[in-house]
Amino acid sequence: MPACGTETRWNGTAWSNGTPVTGIRAVMAGNYNGAGFTACAMDVIGTAQVTFTSGSNVTLNGLLNVATTASMTMESNANLVQTVAGTNVGSVTVKRESAQLVRLDHTLWSSPVTGQKLFAFSPNTLTNRFYFYDTPTDTYVTTGLSATTDFVVGKGYGIRAANNHPETPMTWMGSFAGNPNNGDKSFTLALTGTGFNLVGNPYPSVIDAAAFVTANSARINGTLYFYAHTLTMSTTGTFPAGTNYALWNATGQTAATLGTSGVPALVPNGKIQVGQGFLVKATAAGSANFTNAMREASNGNQFFRLASEIPTTDVEKHRLWLNLTNAEGTTFNQILVGYVFGATQEVDNLYDGLSFGNEGSALSSRLTDQDYTIQGRALPFNQEDIVPLGFKAGTPGNYTISLSDKDGIFAADQDVFLKDNSNGSVSNIKVAPYSFVSNAGTFNDRFEIVYRSTLSTPESTFNSSAVIAFVKNAQLNIETKGNEMKSVSVFDVRGRLLFQQSGINNTSFIAQGFNPQNQVILVQVTSASNEVATIKVIF
């Protein structure tokens, strides 16, 4: 513990020995509302009411002592950083503003103090809407939580917005009260199931994600998963189709949602904010460890930063981001492929991020027969490289794969092509997005990223893979890609004609007035070039 030299005392108006600096003890003997400072240690005495404003930082090379008759508050976006381990004395209030929420939204929280009751943190949240993550079942559960439950240090919790929170997007101010955590902290990881654990920043200051991952690389993979969605959790602790997590690792970051302007919104920025819960995947027995060395006086304004605000680094990186969307606007999924210094063509702990928590339709890159949301690949970039993509369609219909963002050589003159193995087409997605139709299912061999188009795009073959038929709003919908339909005929499994329509001359068609119930039908489509394709549909 450092030996503090002289002290400087705040009397409510001025300092007795100048503004605190390293080596000087700060004694708060009067009310204070203002910016932070650096000091050897700090005492809040008497009945002083001390508030450090948003955007300011208090850095102590020793401990904090707050008298029971006094108070100390850290506003949202302020940090209390301590460089020396030890136990603080007394209680502080640490505020943290959430991202924008609407009623029924969830946020992953973690307490920066010891002694904060879980239910009391958000008193207007229904008591059955506080969750911890159950690693063996990969679900959020409420078992054992009560009004006497404290936040566990280093553990994350899912908490639904207050039941009286408005339906329009609005931030919510969380307030933690207790003894501020300091020094080494740890959370025991579970290896059961898929090994995903919900942990959280235990300090009243930001921590650096890279420092956390580096210190724990023997026990977790290098990817952090942040929940940043606005979908409602079910009573069984699962999220509906359309759910994503935002990912961060050494290759880069991906968004979980599409912003109102059509730009991916709220991506991790490499800083784990005060009060932030997040998921990690355990790879070995042990604990997720947190230390003072990870703490920073960093003043990000939210749990996540807009994609346009993410800084570039000096490490060589050539990256491309792909978005998957559907015609109904209910699907958004983003992946990142990056050629970065330190990555290889194999699975790399720090550079490859397994897909996790994607419900419904999703895009991925494939490596060792697994799905990855982030994949780092080796330098130097090779134009002959091929990246297999995984695609899962939760529902049949129209989908689009677009190039959302790019940097390095991809922001210059290097083309990016999407190869569709179902019809042999090769499309330059730097020029235009690629739209296609798909039946529901998983198609891990359909798409590839390639960087050269050495063959001319063949004319698509009209067969069953070029036709999709599905039931929507109790009506039969039929769609094709690149081929107009001349006519449609529908038969039952015994070959009896149930419906027929000619003169369609379009790539999409709804069989108006056709409404069979609970049967298997055969849909026969004749193209404008008189090619015939037949597919089976369960109506």
Indicate the SS3 state at residue 127. helix
Give the lowest-confidence range in 66-70, 226-230, 426-430, 512-516.
226-230
Indicate the SS3 state at residue 403. strand
- For 42-79, how does the pLDDT look when each residue is reduced to its tens digit (9 = 90+)? 999 999 999 999 999 999 999 999 999 999 999 999 99
The reported pLDDT for the residue numbered 365 is: 97
The reported pLDDT for the residue numbered 269 is: 87
Q: How far is CA 274 from CA 208, 292, 374, 494, 520, in A?
A: 11, 14, 25, 65, 55
The reported pLDDT for the residue numbered 457 is: 42
Is residue 12 very low, low, confident or very high in pLDDT (cuts 50, 70, 90)? very high
Q: Other C-beta atoms within 10 Å of 525: how many? A: 26
More confident residue, 536 or 372: 372
Residue 494 has pLDDT above 70, yes or no: no
Is residue 444 very low, low, confident or very high in pLDDT (cuts 50, 70, 90)? very high
Is residue 235 very low, low, confident or very high in pLDDT (cuts 50, 70, 90)? low
DSSP state of 236: T
Alpha-carbon distance 246 to 17, whole Å? 48
Percent of the chain with pLDDT over 90: 66
The reported pLDDT for the residue numbered 11 is: 97
Give the lowest-confidence range in 342-351, 434-443, 518-527.
518-527
Name the average pLDDT for the chain. Answer: 88
Asked if residue 462 lies in contact with residue 485, where contact means CB atoms within 8 angstroms, the answer is no
Indicate the SS3 state at residue 309. helix
Residue 461 has pLDDT above 70, yes or no: no
Name the residue among 390, 336, 338, 339 with its Cα closest to residue 367: 390
The reported pLDDT for the residue numbered 530 is: 81
pTM: 0.83
- For 192-222, how does the pLDDT look when each residue is reduced to its tens digit (9 = 90+)? 999 999 999 999 999 999 999 999 999 999 9
The reported pLDDT for the residue numbered 241 is: 46
- For 242-261, how does the pLDDT look when each residue is reduced to its tens digit (9 = 90+)? 467 889 999 999 988 765 44
The reported pLDDT for the residue numbered 236 is: 52
**How would DSSP label each residue in 165-232?**
--SS-B--EEEEEEEEP-S-EEEEPP-STT-EEEEE--SSSEEEHHHHHHHTTTTB-S-EEEE----P
Contacts of 20 (CB under 8 A, 6+ apart): 8, 26, 37, 38, 39, 40, 42
Average pLDDT over residues 115-129: 96
